[in-house]
Amino acid sequence: MLVCELCGKIVSYAGNSLKICADCIRNRWETARPIIEKIHAQSRNRFGLPPTPPRTANGTQCKICIVECKMDKNQYGFCGVRKGNSESIKREGNILGKFSAYLDPLPTNCVADWVCPGGTGSGYPEFAHEPGPEVGFYNLAVFFEACNLNCLFCQNWSFRLSHNKNTWSSVFQLTEKQNDRTSCVCFFGGDPAPQVPFAIRAVKKLLQNKRKKIFRVCWETNGTSSKRWLNYMFKLSLETGGCIKIDLKAWDPKIHTALCGTDNSKILENFHYIAQKASLRDTPPLVVASTLLVPGYVDDKEVYEIARFIASIDRSIPYTLLAFAPQFEMRDFPTTSLEHAEACLQAAYKAGLTKVRIANRHLLC
């Protein structure tokens, strides 16, 4: 149960770890902001991660993602991948990657499985081995152990434990996991954005190994890559039958900042940039969106605005609503209710989208 520190209102839908209710975040932001920032800083300090993106005068500017950290030679960027010296910039997240990888039997439970070739046969025979689910084939799942947001609800927060550990691996150590029955690779995490130069290097080798056979390249990302790298990602997915799945975590910039540590203006700009190109390939879908339904914060009003934004670009873009499970700094929250999920589903349709689904229904309470 949340007792808001600002208004004193008791809100039965949430835990008390966020401390501020959604109404106060939206309407009393200048008062709420220091409390929210303290929560985020504490969540990062215990892993040795910078509390805020560094902005060091005369530091090295990182241009891999939209955060654009400016670090001195011994200072980590917000993602914790690289420092501001030339050796770190050259190697970490570029020549070397921090990740775990495994072969996941298809069809798998990725966010886009309901529209992708591996789960449905969409795009057969150009992009899929079967006219239905690719049973007997594998997805090379690559989990990047870094992220440039700080989502308090992170479902995979344990990647932070690898920070300050020398667990870097080469492109070869990734590509050797590929076998003759691997029909796709999916980069997720954490997030691919901080290490996308490494991912691009790996993709080139993975595609070379397949010798023009079916091999889709997919991304599950928060949408924070710089446009330069986003274009690389898009081109690879377009050509191979893969997709870019972007997680739009909230609509209101204050809610997004409270939940994820930064506002979403550049993320929405990136999504618009990519989604305008979705019509370049209708089958299988090239761009997919998703939103986690965080109780008390990401409600049907938030989803309606997100869905209306997507529909204003392309009504046919698939949109997945994800049930929330308590994790990380919001582990005292309840799971998404069935009523909450159904209201969000109807809001997305009302906003004009034509392809919407609720995923992980088994979590709904």
pLDDT tens digit sequence for 304-362: 999 999 999 999 999 999 999 999 999 989 999 999 999 999 999 999 999 999 999 88
Do β-strands 287-293 and 99-105 pair in parallel, antiparallel, or remain unpaired? unpaired
The verdict on domain 94-243 having CATH code 3.20.20.70 is yes
- pLDDT value at position 11? 73
171: which residues sit within 8 A by CB, 6+ positions away? Answer: 95, 97, 198, 201, 202, 205
Q: What is the pLDDT of residues 40-91, one digit of tens each?
A: 999 999 999 999 999 999 999 999 999 999 999 999 999 999 999 999 999 9
Tell me the domain boundaries of the chain: 94-243, 248-365
pTM for the model: 0.95
- Burial level of 35, CB count in 10 A (0-12/13-18/19+)? middle
- Neighbour-count burial for 139-172, b at 16+ CB within 10 Å, e otherwise: bbbbbbbbbbbbbbbbebbebbebbeeeebeebe
The verdict on domain 248-365 having CATH code 3.80.30.10 is yes
- pLDDT value at position 240? 97
* Secondary structure letter of residue 62 according to DSSP: P
The tokens for 104 are 């996941």
Q: Which helix (H) or strand (E) holds 268?
A: helix 265-275
The tokens for 64 are 């891999």
> Quick check: do 94-243 and 248-365 share a fold?
no
Q: What is the pLDDT of residues 198-220, one digit of tens each?
A: 999 999 999 999 888 999 999 99
